[in-house]
Structure 1
Amino acid sequence: MKGYAVSENSSTVDQVWLAREIVAQSPEAIVVTDPHGLITLWNAGAVNMFGFSVEEALGASLDLIIPVKLRDRHWRGYQHTMDTGVTKYGDSLLAVPALHRDGHQLSIEFSVALLRDDAGTVVGISAVMREVTERRAEEKALRARLAEAERTVTELRATVAYLSDRVPPFPTMSVQGWSEQPCTATSFNA
């Protein structure tokens, strides 16, 4: 296989064991589908992330985890990839909503790899997925706090501009410096 290296001292049996262990032990969901979008591999990470057992997932359509409103778009892209052998996402990390077995929505990030036979024909797609629901919620809360802070700054600027037009200047007074110490007048000239 191209694209990876294994010690020359390792046997084919060792390599097969290694590949199986990587898939089995990965905390990320690893899902492989055939040209029709049917699930052919579903690891323990996928069981933990989506709540479907291996038995429930194998042979099922990816619709199992795709929200209804995104299915048409997903399948158009999937079919295009199968027809052309090209994915428009390349090596990009994708972020999309997904469904858990109990119906709640997850936020996931994933990358895909096209699986090709010896003739170069795409025979499936593998995806490595990570749940980022909590991180996305934290990012959303931070964006809301930032937006609120920006509104406050805008309001303060407007207040300062309004007051600066209405408060008369004091030409005989000036600030010569700043101190955190309490202010005490030592002399006053009018």
Structure 2
Amino acid sequence: MSESSSTLDQAWLARAVVADSPEAIVVTDPQGRIDLWNAGAANMFGYSAEDALGASLDLIIPVKLRDRHWRGYEHTMETGVTKYGDTLLGVPATHQDGRQLSIEFSVALLRDDAGTIVGIAAVMREVSERRATEKALRTKLAEAERTVTALRATVADLTNRVTRPTMSVQGWSEQPCTTTSFDA
């Protein structure tokens, strides 16, 4: 296989991976406008590529998180540094129908030949079901911990109420004796 056909095959392979990935793959320009929106993104967020391309990422960012998102985005564009290149970030996102999604994603900074950042690629996975399961498990664990704490307190209380006679080697009580009217 010649070098040029190898490059062509790699380009086709890259396009096929992006197009057919079940994960959402989204590429944005330095201003945060969407340049690439694969089928995984359409399935995850409900917007077609036609609706998403050229739109702002605000399309999927919950309103209350937008300021924070854009501060981080602009900082990354200015500095060329992101802590999410090799770390998954879990955040809420918004579906087209308005429901909240839980997603995890990592990003890759895209640079031109001069090293200038020309965009960011994000690979996202929806984890709403897993997050709901984890939340339910945390709730059950907290309930179990409260039950164990209450049982320990009950056992401690009962233990303190029980008097245990102590005996010497000879079998006589080591408890102090008191005289009564019958001791005369």
Deviation, 1:60, is: 0.2
Gaps (5+ residues) in structure 2? 168-184
> Paired residue for 1:123?
118
Q: How far apart in 1 are the matches of 2:166 and 2:62? A: 67
**Match in the other structure for 1:77:** 72
Structure 1 portions without partners, runs of 5+: 1-6, 173-190
Structure 1 segment 1-190 matched on structure 2, within 5 A: 11-169=6-164
- After the TM superposition, which of the residue ranges 13-22 and 97-106 deviates more from structure 2? 13-22
DSSP-derived class of the 1:73 partner: helix
Q: TM-score, normalised by structure 1?
A: 0.84
Structure 2 residue identity aligned to 1:29: A
Moved more, 22-31 or 160-169: 160-169
1:90 to 1:15, Cα distance in 2 relative to 1, 3 A:
closer
More helix by share: 2
1:106 partner SS:
strand
Normalised by the length of structure 2, the TM-score is 0.86
Question: Structure 1 stretches (4+) deviating beyond 6 angstroms?
Answer: none
C-alpha distance in structure 1 between counterparts of 2:89 and 2:54, whole Å: 24
Instruction: Give the superposition deviation at 1:15.
Output: 1.3
CA spacing shift, 1:154–1:8, aligned 2, 3 Å:
farther
Question: Partner amino acid for 1:53?
Answer: S
Shift, 1:34, TM fit: 0.2
1:22 is paired with a residue whose SS is: helix
- What SS is found at the alignment partner of 1:103? coil
Percent identity reads 79
Query: For structure 1, which segment, 86-95 or 120-129, has the greater mean C-alpha deviation from structure 2 after superposition?
Result: 86-95
Q: Distance in 2 between matches of 1:168 and 1:28?
A: 66
User: Greater CA radius of gyration, 1 or 2?
Assistant: 2
Question: CA–CA distance in 2 between the matches of 1:157 and 1:149?
Answer: 12
Please, what is the CA RMSD of the aligned residues?
Answer: 1.6
Q: How many residues align?
A: 166
Query: 2:176 corresponds to which residue?
Result: none
